[in-house]
Chain A
Amino acid sequence: MNAIVRGVGAFLVLSVAAFFMSDYHNDVYRKLLLWVTLALGYNFLFGVCGQVAFSHFAFYGIGAYSIVIFLFQLHLPFPIAVLCGIALCVLFALAVAIPSTRLEGFYLALATLALGQLFVVVLNEGGSVTGGTGGIANYRLPELFGMRVRGPWYTAVIVVLLLATYAVLVRLDRSWFGRACRAVRDNPEAAAAMGVDVARTKVIAFTLTSALAGIAGMVYAFVDNTVNPPIFGIENAFLLLFMVIVGGAGRHAGAVIGAVLLFLLPFWLSPLVGHHHALVFGVLVVAAILLQPGGLVGIYDSLAKRR
């Protein structure tokens, strides 16, 4: 009951804000919400499960491209296009996870890095299906029940996506599954002795978080009403990793703080360093790893403890 009240409260605060913003700020705000959603999912995969994967952003792209292709190239009805998009993400996730999670961490990183790169190549070479280097544009969200969700109302849809993703991840984290994921991360042999199927746990976590990224990608497809290869480049996969590390890996609050900070930082930094904010990010990540492995949330924790 309490959780529902808090959820509705968060929804109202986060979505009402959108109605007081200019179009430009609404656009920035939507992308911020999407980055937070992605960082939450990636935090579960990287921070909670300890899987160093670089495919999370590629699944975001698979979701975005698949909804556009299913709707506007194959002309599937909206609900079926959504289900097909999710199914596609799950299939790709299983195809990557089953062989690579059986290997040790380093190989998962390599396999997912390859997937991320390959995805961009496929997009560029996809001809009329993916629209090649120019991607696909000039489409609009289909009408649902005679209405088209637009403007700040679409921002409210993204708020729902964010809160639903958060709710799913928090529930998983606080359950036997979340504890199994952490146990597998900390000590796989001891986890197996406790009855945890290590390979299965890894595959489920990878597939679930990848599917969540795919759903976020479907929502993203109607933010700019265009999908093209440069958006889904591999540097965004690293940006996600940086967000989670700087914020504090393994903590939902860390993912939120890291995503907000690193998303907004370029806006503040651009008058100072132009487009070289990646340098600042690099310094932040190295500083976090060397000085504060708990990230910004870890700093908050140690301050709170001292008090």
Chain B
Amino acid sequence: MSAPILQVEKLTKRFGGLTAVHELDFEVREGEILGMIGPNGAGKTTTFNVIAGTYPATGGEVRFAGEPILGLPPHRIASRGVMRTFQHNRPFAGMPVIDNVLVGAHTRFAAGLWSVVLGTARRDEAQRRTRAEELVHFVGLGELREADVATLSFGQGRLLEIARALAGEPRLILFDEPAAGLTPPECARLGEIIRGIAARGIAVLLIEHDMHFLLPLAQRVVVLNFGAKIADGLPHQVRANPAVMDAYLGSHAAAQ
């Protein structure tokens, strides 16, 4: 079993009187796809935003590669190797596809501002561009490399989000409901891409609403309800867990 890359301990997030996440513990290991499911309002996206640094935590600890990251601003967390996708695609509208991906590689440029001004940063730029082109091909947007992002379909926009996140050379990638809004063939393709990412040794934390998409994909699953973990384990164990059925389908269905 590989080493944990992300360790979340007793993570708590309160918004005023509302406890969105309560003493949550879990870990993600290198090259693993960890699924996180739960009904609407279970605290999945809040957990995600706290890990990515968008919201401050109320309590608990998050360690990435052994070092605490709670309290760091989002750009510092990204530069350490935690990249994310957005549930609602957020491309940079004024740029073609390839430049969007290059923004994802922002923290990986070696040349400083002075060498840019003096014109000695060309090799660095060319290397990053080649790498970004590989990623554009990896997600299947090769032919749209120079396209204006406004012309992309929703599904293509989601693939762009993934290429952009990969360009940051993450050790952990956070997917926020990546299957939301995709057609069934797009979902199948997305599943392949996520498996391919994990096969590169990158840890994947996958937040998903849709169990049919998540369960065949994830190696382990954490189930949240009302901000607390109600189950975790292998996908088939979680599927058979009465507490999970209760949360998803209501207690009446579980009793039957």
Residues of A within 8 A of B (CB): 3, 168, 171-172, 174-177, 179-180, 182-183, 185-187, 189-198, 204, 250
Contacts and interface: CB of A to CB of B under 8 A. Distances in A.
Given A176-B102, A176-B111, A176-B125, 14 more contacts: A172-B113, A172-B116, A176-B105, A177-B113, A180-B106, A183-B106, A187-B91, A187-B92, A193-B54, A194-B75, A194-B78, A195-B106, A197-B73, A250-B94
Contacts of A168: 117
Most B Cβ at <10 Å: residue of A3, A171, A179, A192: A179
Interface string B73-98: 11100110001101000111111000
B90 A189 contact: yes
B75 A197 contact: yes
Contacts of A187: 90-93
Given A175-B121, A175-B125, A198-B75, A190 B92 contact: yes
Contacts of B73: 192, 197
A194 B116 contact: no
B113 A191 contact: no
25 contacts: A171-B117, A174-B125, A175-B109, A175-B125, A176-B106, A176-B116, A176-B128, A183-B95, A186-B92, A186-B93, A186-B94, A187-B92, A190-B91, A190-B92, A192-B75, A193-B74, A193-B75, A193-B84, A194-B104, A194-B164, A194-B168, A195-B106, A195-B107, A198-B75, A204-B113
B193 interface: no
B208 interface: no
B103 interface: yes
Contacts of A198: 75
B106 A196 contact: yes
Interface of B: 52, 54, 73-75, 78-79, 83-84, 86, 90-95, 99, 102-107, 109, 111, 113, 116-117, 119, 121, 125, 128, 164, 168
A195 B78 contact: yes
Nearest to B168: A195
Contacts of A192: 73-75, 78
Contacts of B92: 179, 182-183, 186-187, 190-191
